[in-house]
Structure 1
Amino acid sequence: MFMQDLYKWGARKFVVFDICPLGCLPGILNMLPVKPHTRCAEQINDVISIYNMKLGAKLKQLSSMLKGLTFITGNTYNLTQEILQNPGRYGIKETRKSCCDPCMPNGIPCQDRNSYQFWDSAHPTQAIHKIFASECFSGTALCTPMNIAELVHKK
């Protein structure tokens, strides 16, 4: 695993992000059936959830094996779901369509890209990345058991 190699080279502090609910991406929503209550392709999200659980278990195992290793986990899955369910809380108006669709050379993106959750069929907008960065750096909603600011100062 790459973390073990980095550990051998002296790295001791890590930020590891899980996988977001890919079954909620605009590109997936156009291809697969979605559940009415979540409006996502849950067959994909179920697999992602299993991966994310195994990732957490693997990180805990590594932490017990490698002395001095500290990691925080960025839970993009839950924060993405939270934004999908409560977009207005984050200043987002459009959660199902992409801003740049189709995103081709010389294509014209949406007027207000900061109000969209997705830039294209698979990637969040800069507004969403700003929320993720802010939350992980100094907030409590994305990264656990501490945020990046706390990790930096941890001895």
Structure 2
Amino acid sequence: MGVSCFLLACLFLLSLGLIHVINGQPLVPAFILFGDSIVDQGNNNNLETLVKANFPPYGRDYPKHIPTGRFCNGKLASDFTAENLGFNSSPPAYLSHAAKGKHLLIGANFASASSGYYDLTAKLFNTIPLSTQLEYYKEYQKKVVKLVGKVNATSFINGSVHFVSAGSSDFLQNYFVNPLLFEAYTPHQFSDILIQSYAKFVQELYELGARKIGVTTLPPIGCVPAAITIFGGEGSNKCVEKLNKAAIYFNRKLNATSLKLQQKLSGLNLVVLDIYQPLLDLVTHPTDHGFFEARRACCGTGLVETSFLCNAESPGTCKNATEYVFWDGFHPTEAANQVLSDDLLAAGLSLIG
């Protein structure tokens, strides 16, 4: 299909989507999320962990200016994706009070900040590893069966979009700061371990009925403010090459493994959503996208703060986050998330067919 035909097809599907939204009917039965802080909407609020974002200034630009546990000043890219799918709200964090009854029929969010494909990453921070997120998902499916019956539940799960975002914490919060790992494995070897875990996770989702699965690549992890501060040397403003090289290798393996899974598992629609290049573009050419600051984050000094280090008393926090690519040392602002979500939309359309 030529580029112009593809774009016309995308516009046509979008127009169909708008009709569904107007009629109050989402494009898919539910939106189900797994992963780390990029998509965590508040599960960590209910854990005994330091990795939380349920206090100001997090959430200051979110509706009603409430800190929800999202690692952002406002909405996440997954919030915008839920809107693009036609949902009036994002699926509830599974450990929240909202995750009960009919609220579960728009999906559920199992993600946990500081989680990853490597289960020990989550265990270091007492957060929810992917293996446990999967157990919660099995529990969730039983609740859906009680709500709609077994036959309807099967169709419900088959038609729902499952979204996975993980891997960044495995590198930034574990591998590159953990001598037990970086002295035992090269970055490529560690990537291979993560990819094996990813493949196992997708196969388990498939066995549980998931047929529409979107997975994000790693972002340019060497370009986040905290990574440059910690690994880039004093006064550095450049992305850390060794970290980005690790991400590029991982992404190459992710694409190859996903293709094999697609060929192996009948009826699986597995789409790799590239977040590396769109975020790299924002970092290297911020003004092209309406941003003015890509090295420093909005919160505090903007060099390293995240989670409890980014708080209401953090000196220097910016007044207008729309000018910044990053909200804290690791996470994009709502404005950047909007751009990233829009960039992923065309690729994500193939999941709703």
TM-score with structure 1 setting the length: 0.84
* CA-CA distance at 1:65 after TM superposition: 0.5
Counterpart amino acid of residue 314 in structure 2: G
* CA-CA distance at 1:112 after TM superposition: 1.0
Say whether residues 1:148 and 2:348 are aligned partners.
yes
* CA-CA distance at 1:111 after TM superposition: 1.0
* CA-CA distance at 1:99 after TM superposition: 0.2
Q: Which has the higher strand share?
A: 1
Distance across 2 between alignment mates of 1:14 and 1:3: 8
Say whether residues 1:4 and 2:203 are aligned partners.
yes
Distance across 2 between alignment mates of 1:149 and 1:52: 21
Counterpart amino acid of residue 77 in structure 1: Y
SS at match of 2:294: strand
Counterpart amino acid of residue 81 in structure 1: L
CA contact (8 A) 2:279 2:340 kept: no
Q: Corresponding residue for 2:270?
A: 71
Distance across 2 between alignment mates of 1:10 and 1:150: 18
Distance across 2 between alignment mates of 1:16 and 1:53: 13
Greater CA deviation, 71-80 or 25-34?
A: 25-34
1:45-64 alignment to 2 at 5 Å? 45-64=244-263
Q: Corresponding residue for 1:85?
A: 284
Greater CA deviation, 128-137 or 118-127?
A: 128-137
Say whether residues 1:39 and 2:246 are aligned partners.
no
1:56-135 alignment to 2 at 5 Å? 56-101=255-300, 102=305, 103-107=310-314, 109-135=317-343
Structure 2 segments unaligned to the other structure (5+ residues): 1-199
Structure 1 segments unaligned to the other structure (5+ residues): 140-146
* CA-CA distance at 1:48 after TM superposition: 1.2
The structure number with the bigger radius of gyration is 2
Distance across 2 between alignment mates of 1:88 and 1:40: 17
Deviation digits for residues 37-56 of structure 1 (CA, Å, limit 9, x no counterpart): x8211011111111111111
Counterpart amino acid of residue 104 in structure 1: N
Greater CA deviation, 60-69 or 84-93?
A: 84-93
Counterpart amino acid of residue 84 in structure 1: V
Identity percentage of aligned residues: 30
* CA-CA distance at 1:77 after TM superposition: 0.9
CA gap 1:33/1:148 in 2 versus in 1, 3 angstroms: closer
Q: Corresponding residue for 1:143?
A: none
Q: Corresponding residue for 1:21?
A: 220
CA contact (8 A) 2:278 2:343 kept: no
* CA-CA distance at 1:96 after TM superposition: 0.2
SS at match of 2:280: helix
Structure number with the bigger relative contact order (C-alpha 8 A, sep ≥ 6) is 1
CA RMSD of aligned residues (A): 1.7
* CA-CA distance at 1:32 after TM superposition: 2.2
Distance across 2 between alignment mates of 1:149 and 1:48: 25
Counterpart amino acid of residue 351 in structure 2: L
* CA-CA distance at 1:85 after TM superposition: 2.0
TM-score with structure 2 setting the length: 0.38
Counterpart amino acid of residue 28 in structure 1: A
Distance across 1 between alignment mates of 2:276 and 2:243: 12
CA contact (8 A) 2:220 2:247 kept: yes
* CA-CA distance at 1:131 after TM superposition: 1.2
Deviation digits for residues 30-80 of structure 1 (CA, Å, limit 9, x no counterpart): 12237xxx8211011111111111111110110110011112211111111
Distance across 2 between alignment mates of 1:4 and 1:132: 27
Distance across 1 between alignment mates of 2:266 and 2:255: 18
